[in-house]
Chain A
C-alpha cells in the first residue's frame, strides 16, 4: 500500500500534527496562557466594540474617570477662564490613585483643547478664575475663584 507520494503525504501530515502539538504545548506555558487569555478577551470584546463605534464613546471607555472629570470641567468653563489645575498628589490622594492624569497640563490640553491653565506653582497662578476641588465623598466640585486670596486659600487646601 502506498508509493513515494503517499509516504511524502504522510510525512507532511505528521509534521502538521507536530506543528499543532508544539503550538498547543507553547500555549500551555503559564506566561503564554496569560497572554492568550488577553487575546481571547480582546476577541470576546469585539462584538461589543463593533456596536460602539462613536469616537467619544471609545475615548470614554478607554480613559474612564480621567475623561469624565474633564468633560465635567469642560461643561463649566466659560470663555476667558483660566483654570487652576490641582496638584497630582492631591488628586491621587482624594480622588483616584489611578485616574489622576486629568490634572496634568498636557493631558488637559490634549483632551479639552486650548484652555489656559495654570498649576499652583506657576508664577501666574494668581490669574486663575476657576478650579476643581474634591469633596468628602471623592467627587470633583467646580469652583469659581475671586482673586489671589482665593487662589492662596486653595493652595493651602491642596496641600492637605
Chain B
C-alpha cells in the first residue's frame, strides 16, 4: 500500500508548501518554486501532525491524510489573490543546456541510489535508533507521541536527551511509517532531491551552468553528508533548512523585502524544529537582520527592530511549541542527561578553536568544498579585493563561534559526533559563497562572452581537414 499512500502524502505536503509560498507572495523560477514548496511542505505537515496529537486526535493514516488535505486546501484556497503569483512563477522555467548534461546525469546517478537506500535500509544511526525513530515507531503503533516510550517505568532514567531533541524528523518518521514504509526514511529523499534542485537552480542563476555544476558536485561530494541523505538523523535536514534560511537572508541583506525575511526566518524556524540547539544561532542572526533592514527602501518591515524581532520570534515560537508546550505541558518530560555546562577552563579555548578548524580539512568527511572555499576566499580577498556578501561571512562566523562554544561549554558535545555532523550547516553556505564570489562570477562572464563571440569556436584546422 506504500505505493499508493507515499505519493499521496508527498503530493499533499507539496501542496501545503506551495500554498504557503503563495501566501508569502514568493516569486521564484519554477524549479526553485517547486523544490521550495517541498522543502516548506515537509515541516508544515509535521506541524499538522503535532496539532492532531495536541487536540487529542489519534495519529493514524486517515487522520494524517485528512489533516494534510485540510491544511493544503486552507493554504491553497482561491482567496487572498494567490492565483496571480502562481502564474508569475510558472512562466520562468529554465531549460537545461548541453554542457549541463554530464553533471545532471551524475546528480541523477548519485540521487537515485540514495533514494533506494533511504527506502531499503533500516534506521541505522545509534542516535536516531535510540531517539527519534524509537519515539516514531511507538507513536505510529500507538497513535500518539505520548506513547509508552515515555511512560514505561523500565525506560525511566534511561531515555537520555535523544528522544526529546526536536519533533520534525520524529513526525516525518511517524507519517511515512503510517504510509506503509517499514522504516520511514523516504521523506529524507524528498528533502534531498528538493534541496539538490533548489541549490542547482539557484547556483545556475548566479554563475554559468558549467560552474554551477562544479560547485554542486563539490557540495554533493561530502561523503559524510551524503550518507545522511539516506540514513535518518537530525543533522542533514537541519543543514538543508539552515542553508535555505541563509539563501533568503542573503536576498534580504541585498534587497530588504519582508518576503525574503519571512522565508529566512521560517526556514530558520524549521531548522530549530529539526534540531533545537540551532536556536543558538538565531539571536545573532536577528541582530544582523536588524542591521540589514537599516537603510532599506521598500521593506515591508521598515524598522530595524521589527526585522530583528521577526527573525527572532519565528524560530523561538517553534522551540517554545516543542520544549515549552509539548514537552512541558503535554508529555510532562524534560530531556535527561543534558549535562548542563561543564567545567570551563579558558586555557582549553584555543585548543577547541584549533580542533574545530582542523575539522574543515577532513576531506574524507566533507570532501573538498571547505578547501576550495578557503582557497577561493583567499583569491577574492587578496587578489580581487572583494569581500563577497557580508551576510555569508557573518553566518559562517556565527556557526564557527557557536559550534566551538558548544564544544567548550557543553560536556555532551563531541567533536566526533555532534560537531562533525553540525558542520554540515557550513557546506551549503560555503557553496553559496563560491557562486557569489567575484572570481567565479568573472569566470562565468568570460565563458558567456566566449560563447556569444563571433567566429569559430576553435581554429578551423582542428575541425576541417579537407
> What residues of chain A have their CB less than 8 Å away from a CB belonging to chain B?
1-2, 4, 7-8, 10-16, 18-20, 22-23, 26, 29-32, 34-35, 38-39, 42-43, 46, 49, 55, 58-59, 62-63, 82, 101, 104-107, 109-110, 114, 116-119, 122
Contacts and interface: CB of A to CB of B under 8 A. Distances in A.
A27 to B, nearest CB: 9
A107 B213 contact: no
A1 to B, nearest CB: 5
Interface residues of B, number: 58
Given A39-B110, A110-B137, A11 B122 contact: no
Contacts of B148: 114
Nearest to B450: A11
B102 A23 contact: yes
Contacts of B122: 58-59, 62-63
Contacts, number: 134
Given A7-B456, A29-B368, A106-B134, A42 B152 contact: no
Given A35-B226, A42-B117, A109 B149 contact: yes
Interface stretch (B59-67, B123-131, B269-277, B318-326): B123-131
Given A7-B457, A12-B97, A19 B102 contact: yes
Contacts of B214: 22, 26
B54 interface: no
Interface in B207-255: 210, 213-214, 217-218, 221, 223, 226
B121 A58 contact: yes
Contacts of B101: 16, 19
Given A35-B221, A62-B122, A19 B134 contact: no
Interface of B: 97-103, 106, 109-110, 113, 116-117, 120-122, 124, 126, 129-130, 133-134, 137, 148-149, 152, 154-155, 157-160, 162, 182-183, 210, 213-214, 217-218, 221, 223, 226, 363-364, 367-368, 447, 450-451, 454-458, 460, 463-464
22 contacts: A1-B464, A2-B456, A2-B463, A7-B454, A8-B451, A10-B458, A10-B463, A11-B451, A12-B98, A16-B102, A19-B102, A19-B210, A23-B217, A30-B363, A31-B221, A58-B121, A101-B129, A106-B155, A106-B162, A110-B134, A117-B154, A118-B154
Contacts of B129: 101, 106-107, 110
Contacts of B160: 106
A15 B99 contact: yes
B134 to A, nearest CB: 5
